[in-house]
Structure 1
């Protein structure tokens, strides 16, 4: 059956339709964007559906996004998306807000034990029995006019997303539905705020190997890279590669010749930003010890990998009881944080990252399990 397609190409049409959507219990949303050589995604098309046709919003024609922002913030309308982390970035950049409440159909599939991290086409096939054509994801969504194939692809995607929601929702218990919305809220909260450039150094691989003085240099360089990526609207690695940051912090070159010899250092970077980098390194390296960052925890030793596997069984048992995808239960980072809180012999503490229903249902069992596993002479 052909999908009815409605275009929204001016502010008045957007305001009128957003008001209509706010009278509905849900609206499915999707985005198409370009992000080849920019830090921020550039919106090429926004799609919406309540199950009766598809609305295509042309962001190149709209300059007042207030009505759509109000819709996204309307707690009475469920916003339906699929694997939506990049869509959320588009909304944050374009509208400065996030969809609440958020129902992610990829998460819903995991809650129903249909599969974890399922791709959209596969989920549509499994639930709706429809074979989707190969996508236009990599095509140019900023070109005008869009091709017929692009328009059809975008409309079908959002129409079937609404149908997915209508098919999945009745299969979820009230409890699982509440948990899914809880996960959606956590995702929105984590992506809805800009990360602090001063904390970017914590994410650098092998940063734990550096001394506190070297970490001070790494902190300054990472903050500069993060800030410049946003100001220049360029990918972080276009400014400076992560591995290069680590080598700069460790070796701390003092002149342009030494700077140019750093691994993966691009000659363009030396020409354009060399003096700035040398100044940042010198300033951070000369900070007094009381201003150095605290050292990062070392990775868990190899013998802890067996403990991780045994702890994961707590989540697997809970998943079996709830008929949910096991991967949905306990994230590896949560289990690692639990182990690091008291390894090797305790006492252990539940990490703050274990929250909500997972903490309520599995927190006590995790503490009991890890205590039994790590107490000398105790039986696991």
Structure 2
């Protein structure tokens, strides 16, 4: 089959509306985005590529004004949107169009379930399934410049030219292995997670060494992290350009209450010290004035060495299952899932599973993981 790869430029509202009306009848579309994010919090859409099997269309976000036909297309439940490693693309659509496309099919996720490897790049996937080499030299180029270079146009077109063929081959592999529903479920989870409202209340829990802080110090860190998340978005600047997590941790640990102390904290940008010192000190002072009942509980420290045998047993079980089924262990379970299981049974509790292991993963590995954990508990009791 001859795959069209010539880029077709789209920068007129009526042209896009006509194409979207036609694409509403398609079962699936190949989609990709190019964007810039060097010094902003949010990605800036530079290009939208759509492949329909007949052409590679490059839609110019800098020229198109009427976006409703595109929103309707991307939300049409009858049109599957095929993307590769879609997490950043979903951010682009949220910022540019205010939507998360659905239903979607992520070819990187599908490739892992098809036994082709975890985290496979698009160029490698094309080479693996089609034997075609595609260039990647323009990955880091400026997608906001106009006009785009011939090399950029070719690169952008090739990113969607072969995707529907790859989609068809992946569908065949997944149906043969009876894994298509697993991929659909995980892709639906990607959409659901992308649509969740911003919640910064637990951002402090992701800060390195936050577990070392006492309750009041954690309360300060929590408030500072909420401020950083809110302000970075409001000012549209990267988080670290405002202030780094390590600096927030230091402010919280010392409960800094004056400007001279704040200036001695390492790595705080001079602009932040100039513009935000008063705000930061007020955040700390307000938390210190709060009732202790409002403070968060201390975070769990890293797992003790004594939990090592159970962790090893759980990982060995998944590794053996992954080898038997030719499924990457990474698509079955995440590091934090192991930790959840181990922690759930500490201090005499009953072992339990995280939500991610209660769906289709439950009969595959969830039940086995619980059995291993409970057996370890029984053996530990017998040895006492």
Normalised to the residue count of structure 2, the TM-score between the two structures is 0.94
For residues 285-307 of structure 1, give each alpha carbon's deviation from its aligned partner in whole angstroms, at most 9, with x where no partner exists.
22111111122222211333442
Larger displacement relative to structure 2 (257-266 or 314-323): 314-323
Partner of 1:164: 166
1:173-184 → structure 2 map (5 Å cutoff): 173=175, 175-184=178-187
Other-structure match for 2:298: 295
Q: Secondary structure at the match of 2:162?
A: helix
1:354 to 1:3, Cα distance in 2 relative to 1, 3 A: same
8 A contact 1:346–1:371 mirrored in 2: no
Q: Is residue 28–residue 81 contact of structure 1 (8 Å, CA) maintained in 2? A: yes
**Which residue of the other structure, out of 66, 69, 82, is the alignment partner of 2:68?**
66
How far residue 113 of structure 1 moved from its aligned partner, in angstroms, is: 0.9
Partner SS for 1:56: strand
Gaps of 5+ in 1: none
Q: Paired residue for 1:195?
A: 198
Q: State the partner residue of 2:310.
A: 307
Q: Identify unmatched segments of 5+ residues in structure 2.
A: none
Shift of 1:17: 1.2
Query: Aligned ranges for residues 1-380 of structure 1 at < 5 Å?
Result: 3-173=5-175, 175-343=178-346, 346-376=349-379
- Give me the whole-angstrom Cα distance separating, in 1, the residues matched to 2:380 and 2:293: 42
Q: Secondary structure at the match of 2:355?
A: coil
Bigger CA drift: 143-152 or 288-297? 288-297
Mean alpha-carbon deviation: is it higher for 234-243 or for 45-54?
45-54
**Deviation per CA, 1:202-254, whole angstroms, max 9, x where unpaired?**
22121111111111111111111111101100000111101001001111222
Alpha-carbon distance in structure 2 between the residues aligned to 1:218 and 1:274: 16
1:186 deviation in Å? Answer: 0.8
User: What TM-score do you get using the length of structure 1 for normalisation?
Assistant: 0.95
Contact 2:43 2:92 in 1 (8 A): yes
1:22-67: CA deviation from partner (whole Å, max 9, x where unpaired): 2111001000000000000000000011222201110001122222
RMSD: 1.8
Q: Is the 8 A contact 1:316 1:329 kept in 2?
A: no
User: Structure 2 CA distance, aligned partners of 1:256 and 1:242?
Assistant: 19
Matched length:
379
Give the whole-Å Cα distance in 2 for the aligned partners of 1:173 and 1:265: 53
CA contact (8 A) 1:372 1:378 kept: no
